[in-house]
Each structure stands twice: as C-alpha cells, then as structure tokens.
Amino acid sequence: MPYPFAIPSPRTWSNGMGVKAPYLRTDVGTTVAIAGTPAMFSGSQITTGESIGTSTPTQVILDTEQYDNLGGHTSNILPWNYYGMFPGWYLCISATQIAYSGGVGGISAGIGASFAGGTLVYYWGQRLPNSATASQFSFPVAAKLIQMTNVGTLGGATNDYVCAMAIQDTGATQNLTSATHRWPYLQCWWVASPTSVGTGGLAVPTNDAWPLPPSIVTAAFLNKNIRDTANFVLYPPICEAYYLAGTATLASQSSFPATGTTIPLDTATVDNYSAFSTSTHTWTAPVAGVYWVWVQCALTMSTTSLALAAGLTVSSANYNAGTAFTMWGSGQQPNAVTGGFNAAVFRRKLRLNAGDTLKPAGWQHDSGTATATFLNSNGNDQGYVSRMITCWRAA
C-alpha cells in the first residue's frame, strides 16, 4: 500500500450499513499505515565538522540519513532541513556538540522551524557550560512538538520544515564534533493529526474481541472498535505549555527538596484533551497510559550560581506509594555569569492513571543564596523558555 496522502475521517456506522472492503481499507488500513509506520526522520552530522560562529544561531548540516520514509530530506541540497511530507504534529529531538574544551562560554541545542515559507524560528533546549578538560565535550539536548501542515514538497519555498540548531559563545568559531558516535543529530516522528482535523476527548481503545456467532456485529461495536479507535490513535493526547511572563523567581536551595518549586507555565501551545491548567500550572492525565514527558527549566542566573536542575512533580499511585514528590532530571553546572542563560531538562516516559497530575519543577543552588529568574528570552515560545511536553504513547 503506498503511503496515505491524507488523514482519514473514519465513518460513523449505522445498522444495516454494508461493511465493505473499501470502507475498511480507508478507515482501518490507512490508520494502521499512518500510526504503525509514521512519517519519521533520523539524520546526523557525521562527516562535515560544521563551523559554528560565536553567538550565531546555526542550522546543523545533516550529512547522513539513517531513516527518511517519506523523503523529506536530502543530504546535498538544503541539508539542514527535514521538510514535512505528511500533515500533523511531530515530536522532534536533537543534540549537538562542539569539539571544544577550553572552558569558555556555553553551548545550546535547539530545534528550528519554518512555517509556510516564513522566517526560521528556533526553540532552544538544554544549555550547558563548556568543559575545561580535554576531550570532555558538553552535549546538550532539545525537544519540541512542531505542527507541520504545509507539506508534500521537498525543498518547497512554502513547505514547512524543521531542523536541528546549535549556538555557542566561546568567543571564537568552533566546529561540531564528528567523533565516532558523538554525532549531532535530529530525529522527528509523527505523533498526531493536525489540530484542525483531529478528534479529541475519546477514551483509550479497548480493542474488543470480534463477535462470534450467534452474536452479530453491530453498528455500536464498529463505531467503538473502528471509528473511535482510529480517531484515538490518529489524535492521542498531546500537550505543550511554556512560560511566557518571564518574571517569576526561583530561590536558592542547597539540596533537592522533596517537592520542587513549580515552574509557572502560563501558555499552552497545544492541548487537545484540555489537560493543562494555565492557572495552577498543572497537567492532569486525561486518560490512562504511558506518556512521554519533557520538562525544561530555563533560568537567568548569576556569577555565584552553582547548580540547576529540571524536575517533575508527580502525583500518581504508580510512583512513591502515591505520595506526591518531585523526580529530578539533569542536575548540571550553570553558565555562571551575570544574567547568564541556563536551561536544564527532564525526560521520562511514565505510566499514569487518568486523573494523575504532573507539574514542571525547577531548582537552583547559589553560593550567595541569590535568586534566579525563570527566563523567557524572546517574549514568545521561541528562544530560551521553560516548557513542558506530554505525549500519550501507549495504553
């Protein structure tokens, strides 16, 4: 079967309606093709050793493809970009590394995107200080949900695309590493239909056994096990929220608290199951399942900063015997300069019950007990911001 060109709209069945092969091919076959082999790209920079100017946001050349099932990338023309070839939301992850251990400045990984031929925008992820020890290179990571709807033309002037981004501020041009298996990379895969066509608010499919005689197949059975199941897998719960205000502060703590300070995320980019509250900064699992979760804590810190971390406050019977607590992710050294930008990340896949709650958390330690500020560098969802992403992955 060739790859589908569009998201199907599974039909509503009614009693007496013929169960025809073309109906099933469209509603079941197409859904299985899309969800079972989603549009996906994996590419790395293995040979180039690209030059990155200081303080210059730079798209990462992807000279080697590991996977590109819909042909959205070419290594010799516009090799930075993965062009969307199928509409929907894509979960994008990247990592980048420069061959530098001179101890000056920092490095950030990011995801870049262009929509309908517009200006390239970039969303920074983790920011790390550079090591001062030979052959120890900082290797930050990034993640972002990106919706691509202008799709289908490789290299098209108005076709949406994503790319991996890097920025460093050592004061001099540096080269990305091409050391064996420390390659900068971009990976992205389709996770949901575009918001304009998806059907939200559905229950997790139960995949009922097909009726055996003398039982009959009813319209209700088909609507539950084909229509609603297909709609769910084509548009599962996804959410991304970020902190826009950029004014809240984070006090210094010398050790990780049992419950971390909540990052006051106040704006949702996407929330198809209405799971996130911008007033309580809490995400509530709309349905049970395994969720991909990402938190990044972006801070402006000081010369006396010692450490920072991102975390996730979890309230679920599946963890810590049901007592709410904060899981802590990357605990890292800071870029300790006045007004220095920093970003730590947290990443897990968690099994949650409907009603369980997650809150993004931050932590920082300062030798002079100075407060840090939750950062928003651009006044929107771009640049350095604190962000949380959740994406349903399995029942």
Partner 1 sequence: MTTFPQAMVPPFPAGYGPLPADMTAWVRNNFGFITTNTVFRAEQHAAAGQALSSATFDALQLDTILEDPYSGWAGSGGGTAQPAWSWLAPYTGWYEVSVTVPITAGAIWLSAAITISIGMGGVTQWLDSILTPSATGGACSGAIVVPCAGGIDYIQAGTAVSANATTDTSGAARYPSVEITYISGG
Query: One symbol per residue from 280 to 309: x for binding partner 1 (CB under 8 A), - otherwise; what is it?
Result: ----------x-x-------------xx-x
Question: Which one, of 327, 302, 295, 324, lies nearest residue 252 by Cα?
Answer: 302
The C-alpha angle with vertex 385 and arms to 278 and 284, in degrees rounded to 5, equals 30
Decide if 147 contacts 194 (C-beta within 8 A): yes
Distance between first and last Cα of the chain: 27
Question: Which one, of 198, 279, 199, 294, lies nearest residue 239 by Cα?
Answer: 294
As measured in angstroms, the least distance from the Cβ of 137 to partner 1 is 7
As measured in angstroms, the least distance from the Cβ of 174 to partner 1 is 16
Q: 3-class DSSP state for residue 49?
A: coil
Of 137-145, 274-282, 371-379, 381-389, the segment contacting partner 1 by CB under 8 A is 137-145
Selected from 126, 150, 174, 231, the binder of partner 1 by CB under 8 A is 126
| Rounded Cα gap, residues 55 and 135, in angstroms | 22
Tokens encoding 314: 């979890």
Selected from 140, 286, 340, 362, the binder of partner 1 by CB under 8 A is 140
Selected from 6, 25, 53, 339, the binder of partner 1 by CB under 8 A is 25
Calculate the CA dihedral of residues 334, 337, 340, 342 and round it to 10 degrees: 0
Selected from 45, 48, 58, 97, the binder of partner 1 by CB under 8 A is 97
Which is closer to partner 1, CB of 266 or CB of 351? 351
Which is closer to partner 1, CB of 4 or CB of 156? 4
Residues in 329-368 that interact with partner 1 by CB under 8 A: 329-333, 345-349, 351, 365
As measured in angstroms, the least distance from the Cβ of 28 to partner 1 is 6
Residues in 217-276 that interact with partner 1 by CB under 8 A: 225-226, 229-230, 232-233, 254-256, 258
Query: One symbol per residue from 310 to 329: x for binding partner 1 (CB under 8 A), - otherwise; what is it?
Result: -x-------xx----xxxxx
| Integer CA distances (angstroms), 236 to 78, 240, 294, 317, 392, in order | 32, 13, 17, 23, 6
Q: Is 33 in the site for partner 1 (CB under 8 A)?
A: yes
As measured in angstroms, the least distance from the Cβ of 258 to partner 1 is 7
Q: Is 205 in the site for partner 1 (CB under 8 A)?
A: yes
Number of neighbours of residue 77 by Cβ within 10 angstroms: 9
